[in-house]
Structure 1
Amino acid sequence: MLDGATTVIADGLVASGAPDEIAGAAGKGTRVWILSHMALADHPDLEAKALAAATGIICPSAHAAAELRARHGHQDIVVATPGAVEADPAKGSQPQHIVAVAALLPNKSQLELVEALSHTQDLPWTAALIGSNDADPRYAAEVRAAVEHHGLQNRISVTGELTGEALEDQWHRADLSVLISRSESYGMAVSESLAHGIPVLVRKGTGAVEALGKTGAGTALELPETGNLTNTLRSWLTDPALQDRWRTAALKARDHLQGWGTTAAIVLKALT
């Protein structure tokens, strides 16, 4: 058992699986904070017990905090939104290049993006789905099959997980970023996009809307409303004025992104 001089930050998934241990540690004087990314879909009773026993709760967004309160009632929650790392602005591509940076998972809705892009084949563009193929191999196979089914192998690349220079190359080539997860606590890919001066499409009702904020650097879509994503992509691809407006807003947003130092300061203030 940890001694009373210790402060611990436990991930919500771990903490919710061990509420008795959380209570035991807190009862002996250990300060146990729970970092809850989002309310758990399963075992709300265990989650509630762990949250009640903890010294405090940290969430990465107001959206995630609201979901937790809706599930468990009033909670005193510290919101510490993720920071962004300063990056060089993207140069873009011809034809326009679209990126979706997320592991290939059903929640991330890459199939929805592929389907929408399949209805814009009369326009010039390329796209890259950048994320792990191993998190859900069956879904990843479905995404690749959809690309082949629509004959888009030469236009949509399924890159797998990228890091370092390979990932930066994709960011610097990009003109538009898409994160249309069905649920998202915050959406760090949105902040990374804005750090590169790249506008973003996100799904309404998720924490990604909070990450995009009121920057005007893209838009939040009501999905899966029929044709909404396709129509938005088509509008952007065919309207240079819209491209310039979103791009200008994204470049402006770079100057106002929160750094990780601010995130750390919020957490440290709470812990002390």
Structure 2
Amino acid sequence: MEAPGVRLLVPGNVRHTSGGNAYNAALLRALAQLGVATETLPVDGGWPVGGPADRGALRRLLTASDAGRVTLVDGLVACGAPEELEAAAAAGTPAWILLHMPLAAHPDLERRALRAAAGVICTSNTAAAALRTAHGLRDADGGIHVAVPGTDPAAPAAGSAPPHLLVLAALLPNKDQQLLLSALAQLTDLDWTATLAGSDTADPGYAARLRRQAGRPGLAERVRIPGELRGAALDAEWSAADLSLLVSRSETYGLVVTESLARGVPVIVRDGTGAVEALAAGTPGTSVDTSTAAAPAVPGAAVDLREDPAPLAALLRRWLTDPALRAAWRAAAHAARGRLPGWDATARAVLDILGRPAGPRQRPGLPPHTAN
């Protein structure tokens, strides 16, 4: 039987490169390669939640008859607009939610949206677990599914001398580049260089503070903050990388982690975030051991971080001064490189989920009047 077409409604107000945007685009490319008709529909508005006009436009899109196509709505739009999803369900055009991260600031709205949706596809096991915890769901409750990100094949990184550190993340407070720069400031007696690349338009004030911090003595001559990189400039950074870092305060996955592993580059992530799930993606049957920086099967490490940069500085110092540790992490990253799933696997998982019977309303196992 021919697979149904898929249309994906995405937030029009997220214009910088993000993991959610990257997942959405890669998923639609992979679906198209499998012969599925796809369409991306940006929905302008102040999402999440949006204003009355924003939600009205969303309602019109959701309730318009579109025979033969399944509608997916990015969770950043859907979870703050339950009335619109309820209207779509009442009109016989129920939409699925593609959820990258829970909407922690609006749990009541999210709960209603989940209840109105045809089903929910989370883009990581971490996001699914957070959703279940937030709303008191059990693993056995229906309607919550997972389609983990894939990766694109990439050439192995050549590396650099001295070692080059790469951070690819939008310049935003959650990504905590300030803590990283504070850690690097404790390592100026060692040889290394670093690039912190990412969009500087979402929070210009934070980006300016980062550049001032990176301009201090000991950092200015070895840290670059070039803004967002694309094409050949980005490829050159990946090729030069010996280690990448994602120390965000919160992540539900972290696509840049698997993009790094696809190039044989080990990664340091913050413990307790979804980036730990991504770090283990290429090592089936194992988990990241955070008790030691040298877990042999893991291509990097998860470090316990709060407000103090000292633990990160200590781990980086060990990596910079211990050739055996660098070699072990690099070897583990190269081993993981050949085991990462492709985006075709993600697309097939999504199609399998969409092909399941919708079942009764209250799909995610939520009673009609769940208390917060």
Structure-2-length-normalised TM-score: 0.71
| SS of structure 1 residue aligned to 2:187 | coil
Q: Distance in 1 between matches of 2:231 and 2:344?
A: 22
Give the helix-richer structure, 1 or 2. Answer: 1
The match for 1:255 is: 338
In the alignment, structure 1 residue 219 sits paired with structure 2 residue 301: yes
Runs ≥4 residues deviating over 4 A = none
In the alignment, structure 1 residue 135 sits paired with structure 2 residue 191: no
Post-superposition CA distance 1:61-118 (Å, at most 9, x none): 1111011111112253111111100000000000000000000000001001100001
Kept in 2: contact 1:174–1:198 (CA 8 A): yes
Q: Superposed, which structure 2 residues align to 1:102-251 within 5 Å?
A: 102-213=169-280, 214=286, 215-224=297-306, 226=308, 227-251=310-334
Kept in 2: contact 1:9–1:33 (CA 8 A): yes
Post-superposition CA distance 1:102-150 (Å, at most 9, x none): 0000000100110000100000000000101111101111111111234
Kept in 1: contact 2:156–2:264 (CA 8 A): yes
The match for 2:84 is: 21
Q: How far apart are 1:13 and its partner, in Å? A: 1.5
The match for 1:99 is: 166
Structure-1-length-normalised TM-score: 0.97
Kept in 2: contact 1:98–1:174 (CA 8 A): yes
Kept in 2: contact 1:180–1:202 (CA 8 A): yes
In the alignment, structure 1 residue 3 sits paired with structure 2 residue 86: no
Kept in 2: contact 1:4–1:29 (CA 8 A): no
In the alignment, structure 1 residue 51 sits paired with structure 2 residue 133: no
Amino acid at match of 2:136: G
Query: Unpaired runs of 5+ in structure 2?
Result: 1-62, 281-285, 287-296, 356-372
Q: Which of 80, 84, 89 matches 2:151?
A: 84
Kept in 1: contact 2:179–2:307 (CA 8 A): no
Post-superposition CA distance 1:201-258 (Å, at most 9, x none): 0001111000001451000000026411000000000000000000000011110001
Post-superposition CA distance 1:150-192 (Å, at most 9, x none): 4412100001000111101000000000001011011000000
Q: Distance in 1 between matches of 2:242 and 2:133?
A: 37
| SS of structure 2 residue aligned to 1:31 | coil
Kept in 2: contact 1:60–1:79 (CA 8 A): yes
Post-superposition CA distance 1:33-74 (Å, at most 9, x none): 101111112121111111110010011111110111111122
Kept in 1: contact 2:188–2:218 (CA 8 A): no
| SS of structure 2 residue aligned to 1:256 | coil
Q: How far apart are 1:20 and its partner, in Å? A: 1.1
Q: Distance in 2 between matches of 1:259 and 1:38?
A: 21
Residue range with higher mean Cα deviation, 32-41 or 111-120: 32-41
The match for 1:69 is: 132
How much is the aligned-residue C-alpha RMSD, in angstroms? 1.2
Q: Distance in 2 between matches of 1:139 and 1:183?
A: 17
Q: Distance in 2 between matches of 1:88 and 1:128?
A: 20
Q: Distance in 2 between matches of 1:117 and 1:45?
A: 41
In the alignment, structure 1 residue 30 sits paired with structure 2 residue 93: yes
Q: Distance in 1 between matches of 2:133 and 2:206?
A: 31
Q: How far apart are 1:4 and its partner, in Å? A: 6.8
Aligned residues: 272
Overall identity of the aligned pairs, in %: 54
